[in-house]
Structure 1
Amino acid sequence: MRMDWTALPEAVTKEVANRIDGSRVLPATAGDHAEIAATVAGARGKVFVKAARTELGVRSLRYELRVSEAVSGSHSPAVEWHFEAAGWLVVAFEHCEGPHADLSPGSTDLGLLAATLQDLGGTPAPDARLFVPSERFGFAHPAMDGDRLVHTDLTAANLIVTTQGLRIVDWAMATEAAPWVELAALVAWLIGAGHTPEQAEQWLAQHSAWHEVDPAVLTFFALRNAEKWALKSRQGSAGWMHDLADWTGQWAAYRRRPAN
Structure 2
Amino acid sequence: MRSDWAALPEPVEAAVAERVGGIIGVYPAPSGDHAEIASTVIGSTDTVFVKAASSGPGVRSLRYELAVTKAIGRYPPTVLWDFESDGWLVVGAEHLDGPHPDLSPGSPDLDTLAVTLTGLQETAAPDVRLFTPAGRISFAHPAMDGDSLVHSDLNPANLILTTDGLRIVDWAYATKAAPWVELALLTQWLIGNGHTPAQAEDWLSQFPAWAGTDPEVLDDFAARNASKWANKSRQNTERWVRDLACWTYEWAGYRA
TM interval, short-chain normalised: over 0.9
Structure 1, unpaired ranges of 5+: none
For residues 67-146 of structure 1, the aligned pairs below 5 Å read: 67-73=68-74, 75-146=75-146
Structure 2, unpaired ranges of 5+: none
TM-score (structure 1 length as normaliser): 0.96
Give the match for residue 35 of structure 1: 36
**1:213 equivalent in alignment to 2:231:** no
Shift of 1:108: 1.1
**1:62 equivalent in alignment to 2:69:** no
1:17 partner letter: A
1:6 partner letter: A
Give the match for residue 52 of structure 1: 53
- The separation in 2 between residues aligned to 1:108 and 1:240, in whole angstroms, is 25
Shift of 1:4: 1.2
Give the match for residue 11 of structure 1: 11
- The one-character-per-residue Cα deviations of 1:34-70 (angstroms, maximum 9, x if unpaired) are 1110000112221111111111111100000010011
- The separation in 2 between residues aligned to 1:200 and 1:148, in whole angstroms, is 22
- The separation in 2 between residues aligned to 1:234 and 1:125, in whole angstroms, is 34
Shift of 1:22: 2.2
Give the match for residue 203 of structure 1: 203
SS of 1:39's equivalent in the other structure is strand
- The separation in 2 between residues aligned to 1:113 and 1:22, in whole angstroms, is 36
Give the match for residue 153 of structure 2: 153
Shift of 1:86: 1.2
Using the aligned pairs only, state the percent identity.
Answer: 63
- The separation in 2 between residues aligned to 1:219 and 1:22, in whole angstroms, is 54
Shift of 1:11: 1.2
- The separation in 1 between residues aligned to 2:57 and 2:250, in whole angstroms, is 32
* Stretch moving more, 85-94 or 134-143: 85-94
* Stretch moving more, 4-13 or 126-135: 4-13
Shift of 1:137: 0.2
2:228 partner letter: K
Shift of 1:184: 0.2
Deviant stretches of 4+, over 2 Å: none
Give the match for residue 169 of structure 2: 169
- The separation in 1 between residues aligned to 2:138 and 2:80, in whole angstroms, is 32
1:233 partner letter: S
- The separation in 2 between residues aligned to 1:56 and 1:48, in whole angstroms, is 21
- The separation in 1 between residues aligned to 2:184 and 2:22, in whole angstroms, is 42
SS of 2:231's equivalent in the other structure is helix
